[in-house]
Structures are given as structure tokens and as C-alpha cells.
């Protein structure tokens, strides 16, 4: 078995790095039920709640999350795409919520890829700064913001890998996907990432292996 007994064990596919670090994929799933140290909210720039994952997290976590978001907004104004902030988790099982704003997709030639990568980098780094051991992502920007899942998934995985290899506290990252189609896209991207890394290792100190859950 890999990792501590307290780690979430349900996954369909995972990438395992040396050093007991994992990137896991699970679905269909409800991110508000995750027991990782933090969950990531696909927020809008106002940080005042919305639909989709954003609304679900605020409903499940209760008013304390919104109150803290209002305090942040009073200091920084709106949150730009690719940036992240952290609040308490309210009534959620997760101790913290990391709010990030994904890019709205406009065809892919307006910096969307860089902003989406920045979302994942910023969230892992912020979790690490707060000495959190695990966090769960949704499929950022792939809903109302229109980012094609087949393009978003490879970016999400590569940028998460890049942040995870240098993290000191974070050792488990999960992608909790809403439906089977999104899960399949992320699993396919993970397999391609693994195959590419096997041929041309991206980080010699962190060779990868890929594992599938037993049905």
C-alpha cells in the first residue's frame, strides 16, 4: 500500500511518483465530499459564489466560506484568472478551500493554456505554503467556461506534476471528475503523460509509474 492510512484510497487511475507522491483520478464524484486537506473551487472572479462546482461548494460549506471570500475581495478586489486564494472549509470535510479562477475559452489563442496551467500550479503551491498534504481538483474551466476537456486535461496533469515534484508538504493530488466522459478524458491524458515521460523523463528524480484500480 502506498502512503498513510489516512489518505483517500478510491481512484480509478493514478500516477505514482517516487517519494510517495500521487496524482489520482476518480469519478463520477462529488468534490464536496472529499476528505483531502483542501478542495479546489472553480470560482468566478468575484469570489461571491456562482453555479456548478462553485455553488455546490458554497452550499455544502456554508456561509463561513462566503464571509471569508468577502474579506479577501475587500482587500484585493476581483481575482484574476490563473490566481488562487485560500479560505477555511466551513462545514466541509476538507479543512481548506482553495479558490482559483479558470480562463474562459475563446478558441485557445488568447492565453487560455497559460492561465489554466497557472491555476493548477498556484493551487498546489498555495496548499504547500499552508503545509497541507493533499488536495482535490475539479475539471477547471471545462463546464460553463467552455474549455475542451481533451485540451484541458493534459495541461492540468502536466502543470500539477510540475508543482508536485517540488512540493514539500503536498503528497497527494486528486482530480475528482463529475461524469464518465470527463474521467475518461483525464485518464487518457494521464496515460499519454506517462508514456511520454517514460520515453523522455521530465524530471529524472521523479520517475513515474501508472496504476489502475482493480474492479
- % residues pLDDT > 90 (the chain): 86
| Top-confidence residue, 96 or 199 | 96
pLDDT at 215: 52
pLDDT at 214: 67
Domain boundaries, the chain: 13-212
Of the residues 10, 30, 54, 109, which is catalytic? 54
Could you tell me the maximum CA-CA distance found in the chain, to the nearest angstrom? 49
54 noted as active-site residue: yes
Cα–Cα distance for residue pair 127/39, rounded to 1 Å:
10
CATH architecture of 13-212: 3-Layer(aba) Sandwich (3.40)
Across residues 72-87, what is the average pLDDT?
Answer: 97
Exposed / middle / buried, residue 212 (Cβ in 10 Å: 0-12, 13-18, 19+): exposed
| Mean pLDDT (the chain, rounded) | 92
pLDDT tens, residue by residue, 145-168: 999 999 999 999 999 999 999 999
Residue 201 pLDDT grade (very low, low, confident, very high; cuts 50, 70, 90): low
Query: Look-up: residue for cell 493514478?
Result: 14
Is the peptide bond between 28 and the residue preceding it cis, with omega within 30 degrees of 0?
A: yes
Amino acid at each position: 500500500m502506498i502512503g498513510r492510512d489516512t489518505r483517500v484510497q478510491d481512484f480509478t487511475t493514478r500516477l505514482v511518483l517516487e517519494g510517495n507522491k500521487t496524482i489520482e483520478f476518480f469519478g463520477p464524484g462529488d468534490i464536496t465530499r472529499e476528505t483531502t486537506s483542501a478542495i479546489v473551487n472553480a470560482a468566478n472572479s468575484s469570489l461571491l459564489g456562482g453555479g456548478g462546482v462553485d455553488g455546490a461548494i458554497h452550499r455544502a460549506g456554508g456561509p463561513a466560506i462566503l464571509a471569508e471570500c468577502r474579506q479577501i475581495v475587500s482587500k484585493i478586489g476581483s481575482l484574476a484568472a490563473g490566481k488562487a486564494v485560500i479560505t477555511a472549509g466551513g462545514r466541509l470535510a476538507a479543512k481548506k478551500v482553495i479558490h482559483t479562477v479558470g480562463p474562459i475559452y475563446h478558441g485557445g489563442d488568447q492565453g487560455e493554456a497559460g492561465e489554466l496551467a497557472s491555476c493548477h500550479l498556484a493551487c498546489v503551491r498555495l496548499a504547500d505554503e499552508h503545509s497541507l498534504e493533499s488536495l482535490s481538483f475539479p475539471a477547471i474551466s471545462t463546464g460553463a467556461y467552455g474549455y475542451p476537456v481533451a485540451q484541458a486535461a493534459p495541461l492540468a496533469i502536466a502543470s500539477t506534476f510540475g508543482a508536485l515534484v517540488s512540493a514539500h508538504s503536498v503528497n497527494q493530488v486528486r482530480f475528482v471528475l463529475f461524469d464518465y466522459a470527463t474521467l475518461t478524458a483525464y485518464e487518457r491524458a494521464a496515460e499519454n503523460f506517462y508514456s511520454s515521460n517514460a520515453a523522455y523523463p521530465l524530471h529524472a528524480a521523479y520517475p513515474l509509474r501508472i496504476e489502475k484500480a482493480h474492479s
